[in-house]
Structure 1
């Protein structure tokens, strides 16, 4: 893609504008950039002349962004982030490539991270950067090449590769299971149940699959799998958790199955990726490796 040079302000001008917008002060920007206040003011004025409109409201000795300036500042800040990330990634691995991957916290730490050394060994020229993103985002505004997605196969502006499904099981502490002496799925209605914010109807769906009538199931609400599993281990209640993410706790006996009855989640795990990166060799290598790793038992 060819960029008309007349619409490309210099990096120094953009950095001056971003700093002034963040500080809401030309003086603050000047201190940060080791420039004079008048130099920053001239750079901002040059940018405004290029754009054909003011970006700041100037009142006596103060300045503040106007509406147009606020919108432009958001765009420029994201663009500078992308340039910075690309430069940092290249410096970290000038002979290979860099992949910026957004991960779900528990899936990333418990499933993906232990397997990444195998990918790194097979692809020594590729650097992987990880960042947690529990929700969908716009690939056009984030310096991310790919992301782990759990849900339906829908992500606007992205392509998806199916990875795996999951089986959820009711897990709790051994003491809690002995206290309530669970014998059948309906018995769990007598115990405190732990709910995940991201899956508010999970228990209703599990009971429905078990043939149990359960409406408006109440209980403690938690926002992360790690907290749900820890609360379950502490005896605070029964948590409905993906079995493949708690195998270690089950093996150690920190968690036990309240009832040995698993249900496949309607949602699945996917790799979402930026379509413009489809031919990027590091992404191609990661997609092929991840698909193979997800097929392993």
Structure 2
């Protein structure tokens, strides 16, 4: 009898194994990088193929049925054997992939123009930048390292200060010339909008008369300020070119503000990989020279 006639849909089998191991559709979907809906569809497909339920679905939890538990115990060793056989035959790449979580603005305005220097020195390390507004989770190995913007008070990670940021409200020359005293404050989406809070507290400035416009990313904030749409909090490390070419100017007469806010290298607890150590050393040197 041909083997394929008794094999279930292999994608469905993989989905079932992950859900059974985690007893969670959420965790299994995250592991397999699929949506919960797609994962549920695959499990249902396997249940239809077998003609019986494999899980007991409750409001906030799931369990294996007796048949599901028995099936999982039978297929798991077979899947382990397939994985082991595949590992033994696979040609190991000489390239190491290093995933770096960071804000898109820092990637675009500061890191990307300097990254060629690292790649020339370490051609065997492939850097994958993972931009997101949400804080990348190094503790859960979503990324190998992260570069965060803030004050360094993140739990369960190793945080190393890379460089401080210098802040001052900026706008276009045309916007400043228009003398819009209550112009809109342009802000990037943030869980903790500490820039304007810290700056206004330091200089005792009442910002309540200014309307606020929240934009998705700091890159958009910068472009909106250049286009004369309002006042942005200028992160001098990122807008240096804009200040030099005059497309952004100081919006007020106060001097730039130096605070605790800055850029931090975030690593998981414990020893780092060789690739992570190479990137960390290079990044610290690049920040020291900036």
> Is TM more than 0.5 here?
yes
TM-score, normalised via structure 1 length: 0.67
Asked if the contact 1:148/1:269 (under 8 Å) is kept, the reply is yes
What is the CA deviation profile of residues 243-267 of structure 1, one whole-angstrom value per residue up to 9, with x for unaligned ones? 1211222233322222362101322
2:213 corresponds, among 221, 227, 245, to 221
The residue number in structure 1 matching 2:49 is 37
Indicate how the Cα distance of structure 1 residues 94 and 130 shifts in structure 2: closer, same or farther if over 3 A, else same.
Answer: same
The residue number in structure 1 matching 2:145 is 146
The residue number in structure 1 matching 2:231 is 238
The residue number in structure 2 matching 1:119 is 118
Aligned residue runs from structure 1 range 41-120, under 5 A: 45=54, 55-57=55-57, 67-69=61-63, 94-120=93-119
Structure 1 position 24 matched with structure 2 position 40: yes
CA-CA distance at 1:100 after TM superposition: 1.1
CA-CA distance at 1:209 after TM superposition: 2.9
Asked if the contact 2:184/2:231 (under 8 Å) is kept, the reply is yes
SS for the counterpart of 1:24 is helix
The residue number in structure 2 matching 1:83 is none
Q: Which has the larger displacement, 117-126 or 91-100?
A: 91-100
Asked if the contact 1:93/1:126 (under 8 Å) is kept, the reply is no
Indicate how the Cα distance of structure 1 residues 17 and 279 shifts in structure 2: closer, same or farther if over 3 A, else same.
Answer: closer
Unaligned runs of 5+ in 2: 1-10, 26-37, 65-85
TM-score, normalised via structure 2 length: 0.69
Cα RMSD, aligned residues only: 3.5
Indicate how the Cα distance of structure 1 residues 127 and 213 shifts in structure 2: closer, same or farther if over 3 A, else same.
Answer: closer
Indicate how the Cα distance of structure 1 residues 158 and 69 shifts in structure 2: closer, same or farther if over 3 A, else same.
Answer: farther
Asked if the contact 2:13/2:43 (under 8 Å) is kept, the reply is no
Indicate how the Cα distance of structure 1 residues 137 and 92 shifts in structure 2: closer, same or farther if over 3 A, else same.
Answer: farther
State how far apart, in whole Å, the 1-side matches of 2:197 and 2:59 are.
Answer: 49
SS for the counterpart of 2:128 is strand
SS for the counterpart of 2:167 is strand
State how far apart, in whole Å, the 2-side matches of 1:92 and 1:116 are.
Answer: 28
